[in-house]
Structure 1
Amino acid sequence: MGAPPSTRDHLLAVGLERLRSTGYTATGVKEVLDLAKVPKGSFYHYFPSKEEFAVEVFHLYAKGEAERSERVLGDRKVAPLKRLRRYFEELISVFGQRGEISGCLMGNLSLEVADHSPRLRSELKGVFAVWQKSVADVLREAAERGDLAKATDPDALAGFLLNSYEGSLIRMKAEKSDRPLENFLHFAFDVLLKK
């Protein structure tokens, strides 16, 4: 059995849960401390501000999503477009309407704070770029195998797919339905990426 998480790690885990469920603005430092059962001084020992705390929580989230991406998209035993579809299907099962907490933290933070926090905007931009590259790499592999036209621009197409997925998540929240995500999967994989 492993050692219990450090106070810092515990605060980050509680913060991730709260940011995902209530958003940045509605998540207060006192609320996180109360839920974590940690004294106020401990928070400021590890994090100089709520914004820096949110940056660290976002890093934790991004690390988990990078691991998911590597696990699914990096499985070269599966054809590239098939694993890309599996990847988006898994994301939808986790972040869709029926998921534990619907919506993607990256999209939610982008809508809520990107205009007001240059620090968080920079973090979001960087993680979106890494995410887009991982999808583009799979699309590039598909083009090299002949599963996509050689003239395909993998980087632009990856950006389009991620933008479409994130937009579908926003519409899903507005409609309280997975239908926008189902439309995304259909048009992305049965129309746009169909050989």
Structure 2
Amino acid sequence: MSVHDKHEIAKRSILDNARPLIGARGFSTVGIAQILVAARIPKGSFYHYFDSKERFGEELLSLYITDYLTTLENLFSNSQQNGYEKICVYLKFWQNTHIDGKVGDKCLIVKLAAEMADLSETMREIMQHGTAKVIERLADVIQNGQQDGSITKELPAAILAATLYQTWLGATLMLKITKHTQPFDVAWQTSTLLLKGFPELP
């Protein structure tokens, strides 16, 4: 194994071990010393792997988004499911992650968006690019669902995908405020209406 490979493996380990800490406490309130403890690396080693704490944050978000997109592909990999069923699997994954999941599994975008968007332009751009790719992938699945007849064609796939993502993003923030699952119940009902179409009034 090359020196470069060992360096990258060590860097990945730091990012993976620090993710739950950042996910629980946020970025600004966590110091480098706490990151070192979480990653179990010697004091003073941080700058061997990252130029700055902000650079660490950028790489943490980039890695999180890459992993998240890989998870999406795994969730959508069942060729026996129609478009609607695949979207429901994704929404169920989102719900379970924030209700039953470990702290480190929870969405870093939800945790860091409000905190970092005004503090770091680079981190904001990473989050913007990442969420755009997630919405684009959702739109692909929705479009396939519209073609197989399992999802209504009342809204264009791109708009429906963005609406669903933003609905669940907002519901997750409300979950933090209310400490209750009711926002997810509303998000699920809204999503069903958006995907299947609103019933016609008599």
TM-score by length of structure 1 reads 0.90
TM alignment of 1:95-110, pairs within 5 A = 95-96=98-99, 98-101=100-103, 103-110=106-113
CA contact (8 A) 2:83 2:146 kept: no
- CA offset at residue 176 of structure 1? 0.6
Query: How many residues matched?
Result: 190
- Deviating beyond 6 angstroms after TM superposition, the runs of 4 or more aligned structure 1 residues are none
Q: How far apart, CA to CA, are the structure 1 residues paired with 2:152 and 2:20? A: 42
Q: How far apart, CA to CA, are the structure 2 residues paired with 1:150 and 1:170? A: 29
TM alignment of 1:19-34, pairs within 5 A = 19-34=22-37
1:70 aligns to what?
Answer: 73
Residues 1:61 and 2:64 are matched in the alignment: yes
CA contact (8 A) 2:82 2:148 kept: no
CA contact (8 A) 1:143 1:152 kept: no
Which blocks of at least 5 consecutive residues in structure 2 are unaligned?
1-5, 198-202
Q: Deviations over 1:75-133 (max 9, x none)?
A: 2320110110111101211123x332285211221111111110100100010010001
Q: Aligned partner of 1:24: which letter?
A: F
Q: How far apart, CA to CA, are the structure 2 residues paired with 1:150 and 1:93? A: 28
RMSD (Å) for aligned C-alpha atoms? 1.9
Q: How far apart, CA to CA, are the structure 1 residues paired with 2:58 and 2:98? A: 20
Q: How far apart, CA to CA, are the structure 2 residues paired with 1:161 and 1:151? A: 14
Of 71-80 and 109-118, more deviation after overlay is shown by: 71-80
Q: Aligned partner of 2:62: which letter?
A: H
CA contact (8 A) 2:152 2:196 kept: no
Q: Aligned partner of 1:169: which letter?
A: T
Q: How far apart, CA to CA, are the structure 2 residues paired with 1:13 and 1:103? A: 13
- CA offset at residue 63 of structure 1? 2.1
- CA offset at residue 60 of structure 1? 2.2
Which secondary structure state, in structure 2, belongs to the residue aligned with residue 40 of structure 1? coil
> How many percent of aligned residue pairs carry the same amino acid?
25
